Amino acid sequence: MFEQTLNPTGHLWLTILMALVPLAALLLMLAVLRITAWVSTIIAGIITIPLTVIVWHAPFSNVMKSYLFGGMTGVWSIDWITFWGLIIFNTLVLTGDFGRFKDWMVHHATADIRIQTIMLAWAFGALLEGLVGFGYPWAVVVPILVGLGIVDLAAIRVAALANNAPVSYGALGAPIIGLATITGLPLLALSSSIGNIVAVLALMPPFVLIYLVSGWDGLVEAWPLAIVGSLSYIAGQWPVAHFLGPYLPDLSGALVSFWILFAFVKIWRPKNIRGFGGAIIEPSPTRTLEAPASGREALGAWLPYMVLIIVVVAWTGPWSKLPAISWFKISVAARSSVTQKPIASTFNFAPFSGGTSILASWILILAILRPGAQIVKQVFARTLKQMWGALLVAFFIFALAYVFVYGGMANSLAYALSKFGVFFVALAPILGWIGVALSGSNTSTNAMFGPVQAMTGRLLNLPVLLLPSLNSVGAEVGKPIAPQTASVGVSTSRFVRSEGQVIRNNMGWTLVMLAYLVLIALLFYFVFPHSMRIQ
């Protein structure tokens, strides 16, 4: 068995610099040179493999096996989920069902810009993040907000900040599934610990959103709306994250939030109706969109989402043995330079994993919507065109991460970071924030930094789930300034190819959210450390 070396150069700082080379090269290509993500991950792998063999003395044949097994894991654990999630979304779009659903939601958001923002940017945006991710919530929500009177740049900022809380559970839980895969931590335990942090994080954005669209006077007048918006999302998100796993918390949080807000504004509304900027407007709103003509049509608009939730819950819940069925495993092992215990790069082919449950959901949705063969063909063509690059990235980023861990580079870097002591608790979310700001992907950030965070936590004797969870939520907060996310998000606005202006406009409030997250990190370390341990 290959024995990892903690300090292969004999000089700690030189070892640290060598361990940082793959990450620095990847982030340089993505953020500075603006090389497309799948090409960047290939080049980073080409850099990492010889470093692992020459500096860390890992056997070349084992390194290549680790690379292959990592890539295969990325395809099956991530691509198999995100592909079918986007297939469902495009099916709803091309059949017109999504358009009817969107119109129904806009119709019921009333004429007050604060209510519209919380119901559409916050609740509806979380639904889109949970189903698709990849910047689509911005792309869909921004034109709606602009149509309701919010200026373009402000609408993008509102959509981006509203998207903070849902990102870790985005694309049907892909970031957390990736984090569990690369760290070896239990999936449900990670889903729970991240859910705890997100629940506290979610208390703040609704207040920020109302302030951004209506000013201080508008917020003072409508603060109960912010409280209901945040607590209703948490009520739908937290139990699902704890007891069912990472696939559905965004969808459940979004749907519970929307319906509680829907009921709440029937019995309470702010004293004045306000438009964008806080201007008081006449209480006689005009509608530009018709609501569904009947209760049956309204039910039809919601039905695909209900089908997805029911199937995935039944398929992946703790009572189901389907995800645990394995047809075969292949792996290559090494002995950890930190724990002195075997670690393995493993590909586990579990044919009935969460992604297969999403495929089953899509088949049932097809049976309900009955689209023609031509539409189904368009759905696949559109989906492949939209995400072929992301599909490649999942292969190459997990291949890179597996080699980074197998060769011992992650352990060497973690050993260096542990020298910060418990102060690193405050730095952990910042590392996730930097990772996603440069890479554009929560999933990729978890793949790159998750193993380092996990091992640093072990070396510091911290609660095992704390640092990886903070890494993932830190990546949520960095999303509004991620160039790749911004590129997709502004695609339906007049700021196409003006991502720099958008990022600058988002930066201030993103830093406020990051500071809030650092305080949350300290809260969980000092007050609630038991919630970050595996029960």
Query: Number of structural domains, the chain?
Result: 1
- For residue 212, pLDDT beyond 50: yes
What is the arithmetic mean of pLDDT over 268-276?
Answer: 92
Number of C-beta neighbours around residue 321 at 10 A: 8
Q: 57 exposed, middle or buried (CB, 10 Å; 0-12, 13-18, 19+)?
A: middle
- For residue 295, pLDDT beyond 60: no
The overall average pLDDT reported for the chain is 91
Whole-number Cα distances in Å, 234 to 176, 192, 515: 18, 13, 21
Provide the pLDDT for residue 387.
Answer: 87
Structure tokens at 440: 């554009």
What is the arithmetic mean of pLDDT over 355-359?
Answer: 95
Contacts 24+ apart (CB under 8 A), 232-236: 232/256, 232/257, 232/260, 232/261, 233/122, 233/123, 233/126, 233/165, 233/202, 233/257, 234/199, 234/202, 234/203, 235/260
Structure tokens at 45: 């792998």
- For residue 353, pLDDT beyond 80: yes
Single-letter amino acid code for the residue at 92? L
Provide the pLDDT for residue 466.
Answer: 98
- Tracing tokens 């849902």 back to the chain, one arrives at 166
Structure tokens at 86: 């986007």
Short-list 158, 194, 161, 189, CA closest to 175: 194
From CA 132, how far away is CA 173, in angstroms rounded? Answer: 10
Which regions of 394-498 does DSSP assign to beta strands (E)?
Answer: none
By mean pLDDT, which of 71-75, 237-241, 388-392 is the weakest?
388-392
Whole-number Cα distances in Å, 525 to 354, 425, 429, 528: 32, 8, 13, 6
Residue 146 makes CB contacts below 8 A (sequence gap 6+) with 152, 155, 493
Structure tokens at 308: 């997805």
Structure tokens at 446: 């978890």
What is the arithmetic mean of pLDDT over 178-197?
Answer: 96
Provide the pLDDT for residue 287.
Answer: 46
Provide the pairing of β-strand 2-3 with 328-335: parallel
- Backbone phi, then psi, for 127, in 5-degree steps? -60, -45
3-class SS string, 65-126: HHHHHHHHHHHHHHHHHHHHHHHHHHHHHHCCHHHHHHHHHHHCCCCCHHHHHHHHHHHHHH
From CA 506, how far away is CA 478, in angstroms rounded? Answer: 10
3-state class of 398 per DSSP? helix
**Tell me: the pLDDT tens digits for 366-404?**
999 999 999 999 999 999 998 898 899 999 999 999 999
C-alpha 307 chain-centroid distance: 22
Provide the pLDDT for residue 32.
Answer: 82
By mean pLDDT, which of 28-32, 61-65, 262-266, 429-433 is the weakest?
28-32
Q: Which range marks the domain in which residue 237 is found?
A: 2-532
From CA 446, how far away is CA 367, in angstroms rounded? Answer: 36
